[in-house]
């Protein structure tokens, strides 16, 4: 069981940033960006955009939670953030998996890594 938690933590800390960089580089260098079927390319783009937004929100949550005094307010903020972050990461993963295009793999890895990060944060809190 300890190895399982170690793998989740490993994925949460190592996958998101390189995968997001890889995804945005692939997206910006791909032509055409919305080839037929367009809805699948839009889905993967939305997954990449959502994963990037979640990645930025991790920093906001960390800085804001560290500034709160210990007590029920901090705990409530942290738990709510973990739930919303995990749900958004799951949505980004679904969007990237049903999508099609050159950023499907990096967007999926980033979303999976962010979901693992939220799970790790919730377990370690």
pLDDT tens digits for range 44-61: 999 999 999 999 999 999
In the chain, the number of structural domains is: 1
Q: Is the pTM of this model over 0.75?
A: yes
pLDDT at site 2: 85
| Residues 90, 98: Cα–Cα separation, whole Å | 12
- 80 φ/ψ angles, rounded to the nearest 5 degrees: -65, -40
The domain in which residue 102 lies consists of 2-124
Residues 6+ apart with CB under 8 A from 109: 15, 19
Read off the pLDDT of residues 90-115 as tens digits, 9 standing for 90 and up: 999 999 999 999 999 999 999 999 99
In this prediction, residue 101 carries a pLDDT of: 94
For residue 16, the model assigns a pLDDT of 96
């Amino acid at each position: 069981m300890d190895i399982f938690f170690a793998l989740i933590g490993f994925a949460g800390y190592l996958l998101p940033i390189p995968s997001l960089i890889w995804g945005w580089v692939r997206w910006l260098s791909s032509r055409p960006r919305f080839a037929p079927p367009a809805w699948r390319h839009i889905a993967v783009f939305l997954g990449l955009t959502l994963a990037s937004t979640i990645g930025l929100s991790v920093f906001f949550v960390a800085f804001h939670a560290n500034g709160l005094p210990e007590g029920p307010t901090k705990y409530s903020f942290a738990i709510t953030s973990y739930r919303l972050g995990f749900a958004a990461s799951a949505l980004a993963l679904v969007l990237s998996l049903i999508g099609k295009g050159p950023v499907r793999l990096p967007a999926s890895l980033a979303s999976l890594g962010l979901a693992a990060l939220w799970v790790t944060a919730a377990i370690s809190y």
